[in-house]
Amino acid sequence: MTLKYHTQMSDELSMHLLTTPIVYRLLTFKSSPQRTKLVAVLLTVLFTVVMVTHMVMDEFLLHATTFGLAVYIIATRTLKLISQQVPDERIRKNLRNIALFGCFNFAFGYFVWLLDNWLCSGLTSLKHSAGLPLAFLLELHGWWHIFTCIGGYVGVALVDAITSGQVREDPVPHLAWPIPTAARFLGGADASPKRE
C-alpha cells in the first residue's frame, strides 16, 4: 500500500473521529443512562463498520454518506438545542449565526473534499500547468482541511457550551479567530470580549 493511501485513510478516519463524539454528546444530552449506553454501543458499531468497510474495501460512498449524515445531525441538533438551552434572544441569535457559519464551513469543506476526490488527476495536471502561486488555490485537499477545521471547531465549541447547562453569557467573544470576526460580520451581538 502506498503512502498516499495511508494518508488518505488517516484523513478519512479523522473525519469520523471528529463527528462521532459530537453526535454522541448531542444524542445523549439529558438522556437516561440506558439510552446513553445504547447510543454509545450503536455509534461504536456504526463507526467500526464504516471504517473497516472503507479501509478494507477502499469503499467511498458509505464513508462519504455517513460523514454527511453526521454533519447533518450535528447541525440540526445544535440549532434545536440552541433554541432550548439559551434563554436570551440576543445570545441565541448570535449562537445560531455562528452555528450556521460552522455549517457553511463544514458543507463547503465537504464539497471541496468531494471535488478533490472526483477530480484529483485533472486538478493535479491543472496545478502543474498553473504553477505557483495559482496552484495553491487549486489545492482542494488543503482547503478542505481549513474549512473542516473551522466547522469542527465551531461544532465542538457550541456543543460544549450548550450542553454544559443553560447559556447565560455569550461565549462567542471568547472563541478563537475567526469566530468573533464572523459573528460581527453576520450581524450578531457585539463579539468583542467584555472588560471586567
DSSP per-residue codes, 33-59: HHHHHHHHHHHHHHHHHHHHHHHHH--
Q: What is the pLDDT of residue 119?
A: 77
User: Using one digit for the tens of pLDDT, what is the confidence trace for 160-176?
Assistant: 999 987 788 899 998 99
Contact 151, 126 (CB under 8 A): no
Q: What is the pLDDT of residue 144?
A: 87
Closest CA to 151 of 89, 70, 84: 70
What is the pTM for the complete model shown? 0.80
Contact 154, 177 (CB under 8 A): no
The torsion defined by the Cα of 105, 106, 109 and 115, in degrees rounded to 10, comes to: -130
Q: Does 141 count as an annotated binding residue?
A: yes
Q: What is the pLDDT of residue 17?
A: 87
Q: What is the pLDDT of residue 10?
A: 63
Q: Does 54 count as an annotated binding residue?
A: no
Cβ atoms within 10 A of the Cβ of 83, count?
11
Q: What is the pLDDT of residue 14?
A: 82
Q: What SS3 string covers 65-84?
A: HHHHHHHHHHHHHHHHHHHH
Q: Residues in the chain with pLDDT < 70?
A: 1-11, 188-196
> CA-CA distance, 192 to 173, in Å (whole number)?
5
Which residue carries 471528529 as its cell?
18
The torsion defined by the Cα of 117, 122, 123 and 128, in degrees rounded to 10, comes to: 140
Q: What is the pLDDT of residue 115?
A: 84
Q: What is the pLDDT of residue 1?
A: 46
